[in-house]
Every structure is written in C-alpha cells, then in structure tokens.
Amino acid sequence: MRGVFTVAKVAISRATYSFDCEYSYIVPPEMCEYLTVGARVLVPFGRGNKKTIGFVTRTYNDTHFNENLKPVISVIDMPSLISDEMLKIIFWLKDNTFCTYFDGFRTVVPTGFSYKFSQRYELANKAIDTSVLTEQELNAIEYLKSVPSKREVDCFLDTTISIERKKLVESLVDKGFLEEVDVLKRKTGDETVKMVRLSDKYHKGQLDLKFTERQNLVVNLLEECECASIKEVCYMTNCTNAIIKRLVDKGVLTEFSKEVMRNPIGEVEQTKSVSDIVLNYEQYVAYEGITKLIDDNKPAGALLYGVTGSGKTSVFFHVISHVISVGKTALMLVPEISLTPQMVSKFKSYFGNSIAVLHSSLSLGQRMDEFKRIKNGDARIVIGTRSAVFAPLSNIGVIIMDEEGEHTYKSENSPRYHARDVAIQRCGYHNCLLLMASATPSLETFYYAKNGRFHLFELKERFANAQLPQVDIIDMQAEAESGNNSLFSRELADKIRETIDKKEQVILLLNRRGFNTYVSCLECKKPMSCPNCNIPLTYHKKNNKLMCHYCGYTMDNSGKCPECGSDHLHSSGVGTQRVEDEIANLFPNAKLLRMDADTTFSKYSYEENFRAFENGEYDIMLGTQMIAKGLNFPNVTLVGVISIDKALFTGDFRSYERTFSLMTQVTGRCGRGDKPGYAYIQTFVPDHYVINLAAQQNYDEFYNQEIALRHALTYPPYCDICVICFSSQLESKAIMASDWFVQNMKKYIKENEIKMPLRALGPVPCTIERINNKYRYRLILKCKNTSSFRSMISDLLMQFYKNKNFGLVRITADINGDIGL
C-alpha cells in the first residue's frame, strides 16, 4: 500500500514495568482529525487482541505501511486531558521514579476521569433464520427478545455461569445473532441540572395553544430570561414539575441538561484588598527580591526562611497579587490537608472565586470539576496538597511550597515523586519561580540556599513586634522521682489551669493516636501483637479494640492473653485517647478538641473543628502532627509537648531533623497575637542538643551541627539515597531476590565498565521486618542521582520482573525516600 499513514505510539494501561513501553498502532484516516497526543484510546493488545485502554504519547507520519501494526479502535478523550507539559512530566516520572507510563498518567489526571472498559452482548438487528438454530438457541433468542431490561439480558448471557452457557453464547455470536458491544463507563459522571427554554416552534408561532394562568407565568418568565433550571422556574412561578412536563409534552418548552461544577468552597466574593496588608521592612525587602526574580521570566528557586510568626503568608499574598496583575497564574502547595481550610479561608477573602482547591478529601466529582475549572482558565490560583503540583495551570508565574521541609511532600506510593522535584520541572517549562518557605526548611534546601543554588530571603523577627514564646524543658525523670506519675508535669498542669482561667487557649501535641501503644501479658511475657505484622497492637478505648496501625488488623479487647489465657495484662505507652482521659480528670471544666486520624475522617472535619477552635468553642486542642504547623490562632498562648523522645530514635537519618522541626513549629503556634506565649517540652532526655536547640528556636545552630554529621557520614545533601525494597510472603524468596539484585548490580557495573560513586548497605531486614504478612528486606544505595545510575536501576528492574523465580516477590525503588521503616 502506498500513501502517508499516521502511526500513534501508545502506552498501555495494564502494562507492568517489564513490558511498559510505547507500542505502535495505525491511526485510521477518519480518526486523524481528532486524535491528539495525550488522548486515551482503545486498542487491541497482546496475542489475543484484548481491547485495552492506553494513551497516545506521540504520532508521526510514515510512507511505508506495516501490515503487522494493529489499528486504533476508538478515541476516548476529545480533546486530550493532558497538555504537552504534563506529557513531559509523565516521561520525567517514568525516568526518575521507575513507574509505568500509565501510573504517571493516573497521577496527573484525577481519578474521576478514569474509565472502566467492559464488553456485553446484544441481539443483532437481523432476521432470524430458524433453520440454522438449534432448539436451545431458538429458545434463548425468544427469551432475550421478551426480557424488559438490559440487566436481565446481561445475566442470561454471562459466560461465567457454566461451560454450556459459554458454548451457547459463542455459537450465537458465530451465527451472527449476537454481537459484542464495547462499553466504556467513566468512574464519575458530570454533574448536570435539567434546564428548560421556549421551543423553536413557539418562537416561530407554529403553536396555537391557550395557557392556564400558571403556564402563562412560566412562558413569560422564559421569554424574559431565555432559559432556567426547572427548579428555578418552579420556585419563581410557584408551579409544580407537572406543569413544566405538560408544557414540554405540548412542544412549548424544550428540556435539556446543562453541566454545573461541584464547587467545594462555594461562591464567594472578594471582601478585602491585598493592598491593605502592610508589610514591614524585612517583608518588603523579601517581596521586592522575589518579584524581581518573577519578572526576570527565568526559571529560579528561592527560599523564604523566617521564624514562626514572621508573616511569610503576608508575603505570599503580595507575591500572588503581583503575579495575577501581570496576567499569570499561581500555585500554592501546603503539606497537610489540615492546613487547607484556614489557607483557603484567607485566600477567599482576598481573591474571591479565582481560586481552586485540590486535595484528597474532596469527592471524586469535586476534584474532577476543580480540574476542569483550572484547565478552562476559570481559576487562576490553585491551593492544595502534594498532588496539586500537577494542576493543569497555564502560564504559571510562581509555585509556592509552604513548610517545604515536610515529609508529606514525598509520595510513598508509585510514582514515588517529591512535589519539590516536580515543581522544579514545571518552573523550567514556564520560566517561573519556585518559592519555598519555612521556619525549619529541609537541610538539603537550606544547604543549596547557602551555596547559591537557591536565592535566600530571611525574616528574622516576628510580625508586629510579637515575641517568640518562652520555652521550658521539663525533666520527666525528675517528675517521676518526686512521685508524679501523671502524664503532665506539675508545672505544665498549673500553666494549663492558669491559661484557661484567663480565657486563653492551649495546644497539646502527642504524635501517637490510640489509648495505649503496648499491651503485654505478665504471665508469659508476650505482647499483644498483630499476626500479620508481628508488632504490638495499639489499644483504642473508644471502641475497646486492639488495632494495628500498619495493616488495619483489629481484635476485640477480651482482657485475656491470646497466648496463655491469663488476665494479668499490663498496658504501657501513651496515645492521644489516654491523654484525653487524663485531661478530663485534671481539668473537668475544660472543653477539649481532639484532632487525630480517628476524629478527622469526615470530609469537612478539619474545617469545622478549626473554625470552632478559632471561635473559642474549645479551651484545649490536643492532636498529632496535623496541628503542629502552619496554623494561626491568636488566642493560643500555651503549647505543651506531652512526649517527643520516641521520634528522636526512629532509625532514620532524618529523625533529628523532623523532631527539631516538629518541636520548633508547634511551640511557634503560641504567642502569635498581642499576648505573650509559653511552651513546655516534656522529655526524659532534657540534655539532648536537638531538644535544647528547638526550645531556643535556633535553626541555624541545628543546621550547622546536623550538616557536619551528614558530611561525616555521607548522607544527603552530600549524596543521594536509593532504597530498593523486596517483600514477599515467603522470607526465603525476599532474601533470594535481594541477593540476586546485589549480584546482578555488580555484574552490570563490571560489564558496562561504569564508574560512579556508589556505596551499598545491606541487604538487611527492614526495621519492621513483616507488614501485612509480607517479609521485607531492603538495600540502601548511597549514590548520585544521575541518568547512568537510573538507567542501571531501570535495567535491573526489567531483568527482575522478567525472572520467573521472583513472581511472588514485589520490588520497589525509591530515590531519596524514607529509610526508617
């Protein structure tokens, strides 16, 4: 065949890493006009030509027709949901996080847009020649013609019922009396409202009808406003749906559906002006420097480093206002869903309906509609958590990462990306600025800022001359020796009473939920452990159950040891539920708000609870790390850290950094108004330098000590770390797989004569050796994240997946992720 043929490269949705590549398909001529790069398509795949969803990565023209190429069956997206930029991001994710192409697609496109493909059988529209049908087949045809619903047809034609039913259906298909129909169903449909307007026949005067008084009201309303929803018409004319239906039946009205957006933040008006926010000298200097970088129209990175309460958010508002004024868009990232409501509330008052919100607590429909608003240009400012970094904004002027040192910006599931790295890629595409901000930035970011890779702006003083809180460290060992067995030191308990009496508020931090974190038997000395993970279960008093926080296993608290049957059980360890009980005993008149994963599972729980606390409906807020950062409550004058010691010794090289950040941030929640703040840190290691430096809010000295330790031990930023994890229900398989990987990595380096800095630690069992009935081993590689290193890991992963001996082993590769578990 001669001519020019269009070939599409397609990434398949159900491909595993071992055969994830771009497959070539011929594009039928009639599809060439509307098939675009990035669009999903239905294609035949594999030897059985199973119909599969994929997306087009690129197209090209070819003059040589290849008979082996299969044709694209149909186009699903018209137009494509992803831009050229997002397509590049998908390729970047594939290269840097070792995911599949379609994993990348699913990450940048909301789940609500996903399609489920299935096939069903329908009666063919043809005359029945009974001479070719058996009696059984004829009876089946007659039955299918008589049933009223598609569901009954599908049930009857279900080939999984029996072998005989499968043979019957296949025979009817072969003889042409049944045909296969492709069914594509989107996970979440569009939200629509039924509308009515006056029909063309009415406008042309082709109807000679007399209307009742109510019908006249409907007609007159629609002559005035052209169209309206049925609900609005009924409300405005005080009529019923039956009247509308009669007018539709008579041809007076035309009924149609109109898409409406599910807005998670409601319609709001701009009530304040950014110009009303007065910046102090430090803030203004930072603002001037940041806007200069934005106006240069070059990709750049900057760190806004300021103490807690220094007014970084005010600088954000001015920067975003500047970006909007020059016709660009802005992206604001926050690390926790808990920070979104307060941030959105502030943005609504200054920017009105031009903002959109993206985070996992939205419904699938809301997230999908926010995506549409952003893509259509109806929203110019996006606020959200980690996944919002993929928001389909165009012409971005600035990407802001608030509290950029938070570990929640790193994805723990495939693709294992860091929002900062994706933001850097987007800044390169849009020639815009990445503005990172924190009182406790990550060591890597602060190191790069110190060395000139990022621009550094500092806010050394709190806004409006507010003072940093006075922080005291309480030695709980001394408290115990003096006979105080309470969870609260005497000094903290007295200060809580004093604060409540003054009608001021208290924040208490304990980064462990549940009641008791450890229950053991005094007879056989064995702990109550999860059978799937072999770690102690946590007791939850509210439902009287023992729960595993890793795999979700639960068991009733019978009060007896499951091993020996003894009722002599000992509970230890403290969770937020136990602290809640103690607060009720010590401060019976105090109104307590508990914020942890057990109390914030509903959609609007964060927003409602924080608003109630801000309005003074509670005296004390007790919670986990979700209450420690980014929140601003002017009436909070006291912060208490119940216990922090365990976080210091988790086995991760970042444990000191995270513990310092958590303590510094939570103590910074108090004294943010015109009242002085006080904070107490309770610990059994009061002389530990991390705790003392956090009490002083001295990040610079902490950085100096920690960066020297990182340099001596060769940890980031002086190297990158790649963690290869192996998991299997058979421990022997996990061990075999990890050993195979090490041996083949050595072989790869030798055969390819690669010279790269590389240090391997392991393979060894993970800190928690078994989770969800799977044994876990890991190999830690200290390396440089170069293209040659990633090529090596990718090649080894391909070999691993193709090795039939490891079919029961799961392998993951994560660059610069956590190594603590």
Q: 1 pLDDT exceeds 60?
A: no
pLDDT for the residue numbered 346: 83
| Res. 375 pLDDT band, cuts 50 70 90 | very high
Q: 821 pLDDT exceeds 70?
A: no
Q: Does the CA dihedral 186-192-194-198 come out positive or negative?
A: negative
The DSSP code sequence of 230-276 is HHHHHHHHT--HHHHHHHHHTTSEEEEEEE----TT------S-GGG
Q: What are phi and psi of 456, to 5 degrees?
A: -115, 125
Tell me the two tokens of residue 390.
């993929």
* Least confident interval from 13-22, 500-509, 599-608: 599-608
Mean pLDDT in residue range 665-684: 88
* Least confident interval from 38-42, 149-153, 240-244, 316-320: 149-153
The DSSP code sequence of 500-552 is HHTT-EEEEEES--SSBSEEEETTT--B-B-TTT-SBPEEETTTTEEE-TTT-
pLDDT for the residue numbered 541: 76
CA dist., res. 188 & res. 477, Å (int):
56
**Secondary structure element (H or E) that encloses residue 166, with its range:** helix 163-174
Mean pLDDT in residue range 420-428: 97
| 78: nearest Cα among 23, 37, 43 | 37
Which residues are within 8 A (CB) of 625 and not within 5 positions of it... i.e. 6 or more apart? 336, 509, 511, 662
pLDDT for the residue numbered 701: 95
Contact 70, 92 (CB under 8 A): no
pLDDT for the residue numbered 117: 86
Tell me the two tokens of residue 387.
């996944």
Mean pLDDT in residue range 571-593: 86
Contact 596, 576 (CB under 8 A): yes
Q: For the chain, give the percent of residues with pLDDT over 90.
A: 49
Most trustworthy range by pLDDT among 602-611, 696-705, 765-774: 696-705
SS3 225: helix
**Conformational region of residue 571, where left means phi above 0, alpha means psi within -120 to 50, and beta covers everything else:** beta
Tell me the two tokens of residue 780.
């830690």
Beta strands in 567-714 (DSSP E): 569-572, 592-595, 620-623, 636-643, 678-683
pLDDT for the residue numbered 268: 64
Q: 739 pLDDT exceeds 90?
A: yes
727, exposed or middle or buried, with CB in 10 Å at 0-12, 13-18, 19+? buried
CA dist., res. 141 & res. 332, Å (int):
60
Contact 24, 9 (CB under 8 A): yes
Q: What are phi and psi of 525, to 5 degrees?
A: 70, 15
pLDDT for the residue numbered 520: 79
Contact 324, 354 (CB under 8 A): yes
| Res. 675 pLDDT band, cuts 50 70 90 | confident
Q: 60 pLDDT exceeds 70?
A: yes
**Conformational region of residue 109, where left means phi above 0, alpha means psi within -120 to 50, and beta covers everything else:** beta
pLDDT digits (tens, 9 = 90+) for 177-232: 888 888 888 888 888 899 999 888 888 888 877 888 888 888 888 888 888 898 98
129, exposed or middle or buried, with CB in 10 Å at 0-12, 13-18, 19+? exposed
Helix, strand, coil share (%) of the chain residues, nearest 5: 40, 25, 35
pLDDT digits (tens, 9 = 90+) for 315-370: 999 999 999 999 999 999 998 877 777 778 888 888 888 899 998 888 888 899 99
Q: Does the CA dihedral 418-419-425-431 come out positive or negative?
A: negative
Q: What are phi and psi of 621, to 5 degrees?
A: -115, 120
Which residues are within 8 A (CB) of 133 and not within 5 positions of it... i.e. 6 or more apart? 141, 175, 177
Contact 141, 172 (CB under 8 A): yes
Beta strands in 371-515 (DSSP E): 381-384, 396-402, 433-438, 455-459, 470-475, 505-510
| Res. 282 pLDDT band, cuts 50 70 90 | very high
pLDDT for the residue numbered 379: 92
Q: What is the dihedral of CA 582, 587, 591, 595, to 10 degrees?
A: -30
Q: How far is CA 530 from the centre of its chain?
A: 28
pLDDT digits (tens, 9 = 90+) for 124-160: 776 666 677 888 888 888 888 888 788 888 888 887 7
pLDDT for the residue numbered 2: 60
**Which residues face 595 on adjacent strands?**
623
Question: Which alpha helices (DSSP H) does 482-634 contain, by range?
Answer: 490-501, 576-586, 605-614
Contact 168, 177 (CB under 8 A): no
Contact 579, 643 (CB under 8 A): no
Beta strands in 644-789 (DSSP E): 678-683, 720-728, 759-771, 774-783
Tell me the two tokens of residue 699.
């990040």
pLDDT digits (tens, 9 = 90+) for 790-813: 999 999 999 999 999 999 999 999
pLDDT for the residue numbered 768: 86
Q: 570 pLDDT exceeds 80?
A: no
Tell me the two tokens of residue 454.
């990022």
Q: 175 pLDDT exceeds 60?
A: yes
Say which amino acid occupies 646.
K
**Conformational region of residue 447, where left means phi above 0, alpha means psi within -120 to 50, and beta covers everything else:** alpha
> For residue 356, how many C-alpha atoms fall within 13 Å in the half-sphere facing its CB?
28
pLDDT for the residue numbered 394: 95
**Secondary structure element (H or E) that encloses residue 285, with its range:** helix 281-295
CA dist., res. 237 & res. 239, Å (int):
5
Mean pLDDT in residue range 258-265: 80
Q: Tell me the pLDDT of the chain averaged across its residues.
A: 88
SS3 293: helix
SS3 169: helix
| Res. 387 pLDDT band, cuts 50 70 90 | very high
| Res. 431 pLDDT band, cuts 50 70 90 | very high
Q: 464 pLDDT exceeds 80?
A: no
Q: 20 pLDDT exceeds 60?
A: yes
Which residues are within 8 A (CB) of 311 and not within 5 positions of it... i.e. 6 or more apart? 279, 280, 283, 459, 462, 463
Question: Strands 115-123 and 178-186: what pairing?
Answer: antiparallel
SS3 letters across 53-96: EEEEEEEEEECCCCCCCEECCEECCCCCCCCHHHHHHHHHHHHH
